[in-house]
Chain A
Amino acid sequence: DAGVTQSPTHLIKTRGQQVTLRCSPKSGHDTVSWYQQALGQGPQFIFQYYEEEERQRGNFPDRFSGHQFPNYSSELNVNALLLGDSALYLCASSSGQGTSYEQYFGPGTRLTVT
């Protein structure tokens, strides 16, 4: 049973560019949440997707957007990259619109903005 997978593993971008990160949830899970984790910090919630719609959003600007596909996989898009966007981006999957308390995290995508 495959767990949560994310791609790419690492990414280097330049300020002002756009980036797309991808996530496939654990088998049987229908809810995907995205988190940003800066060095030495805890994960910060960006948004959650369920039934192909954004259901909850954290305190992140509109430059951060996402999508969920019918197979429950998801994308995170970040436009007009800033140096401060450099972080580990984590995808977490769960079931039942996130009402289940247990989330499974993917290995993350390490984004570096230069």
Chain B
Amino acid sequence: GQSLEQPSEVTAVEGAIVQINCTYQTSGFYGLSWYQQHDGGAPTFLSYNALDGLEETGRFSSFLSRSDSYGYLLLQELQMKDSASYFCAVRGDPASGGSYIPTFGRGTSLIVHP
């Protein structure tokens, strides 16, 4: 099966940089995604990593190390509106016994203080 671990809560102040870590287990890795979800809202796609390295999209960046089964989401210049839950989701490789259906972590609640 596929499983993920991420911290339950992270706090930071406006303007700071925060990193949300995610470790995963899967049968054959296909990709790691990140989603943001505000209270009462729908998860929205942030980024996707299939290869090792850093992907940058504006204030958000996502990193992947396949050898370590590890990734992180980096949020820079934090704003109050970034307070939300952040989920990592892993897709396995069906050719290796995994599933391309994304398995989500339990989510990290990011609280941004003024």
Residues on the B chain within 8 Å of A58, using CB: 101
Please give the residue numbers on chain B whose beta carbons come within 8 Å of chain A beta carbons, in ascending order.
Answer: 31, 33, 35, 41-45, 48, 50, 87, 89, 91, 99-107
Question: A4 CA to B41 CA in the complex, in Å?
Answer: 13
Residues on the B chain within 8 Å of A105, using CB: 35, 42-44
Chain A interface size band reads 20 to 34
Residues on the B chain within 8 Å of A33, using CB: 101
Q: Which of A13-21, A69-77, A79-87, A94-102 has 4 or more CB atoms under 8 Å from chain B? A: A94-102
Residues on the B chain within 8 Å of A48, using CB: 101
Question: A98 CA to B89 CA in the complex, in Å?
Answer: 14
Please give the residue numbers on chain A whose beta carbons come within 8 Å of chain B beta carbons, in ascending order.
Answer: 4, 33, 35, 40-45, 48, 56, 58, 90, 98-99, 101-108
Complex contact A107–B104 (CB within 8 A): no
Knowing A41-B106, A41-B107, A101-B48 are in contact, say whether A90-B42 is a contact too (CB < 8 A): yes
Complex contact B43–A90 (CB within 8 A): yes
Residues on the A chain within 8 Å of B48, using CB: 101-102
Complex contact A108–B42 (CB within 8 A): yes
Min C-beta distance of B92 to chain A, whole Å:
12
Complex contact B106–A42 (CB within 8 A): yes
Complex contact B105–A98 (CB within 8 A): no
Closest chain B residue to A47 by CB distance? B101
Residues on the A chain within 8 Å of B107, using CB: 40-42
Question: A51 CA to B100 CA in the complex, in Å?
Answer: 18
